[in-house]
Amino acid sequence: MADLINLRNACKQKTRLDKEHQAEANRIKFAKTKAKKQKSAMEKSRLERKLDDHKRGLQVNSQP
């Protein structure tokens, strides 16, 4: 005689497994390598420095 299974639990388990496989595929597809992360951080830093260099002196003295 076959083992009895709860279909609701089996369906939930299958759904969880499918989501885990999709998550694994997305991690592979969209993950950044360490080199890419470092490059984007350096680029962001460079752009911030460039912006700061081009700012005008907007500091206002409170004393006349």
For 32-41, what is each residue's pLDDT tens digit?
Answer: 888 998 999 9
26 pLDDT exceeds 90? yes
Tokens read off for 1: 């005689």
pLDDT at 63: 60
Percent of the chain scoring above 70 in pLDDT: 86
pLDDT at 55: 81
Higher pLDDT, 8 or 52: 8
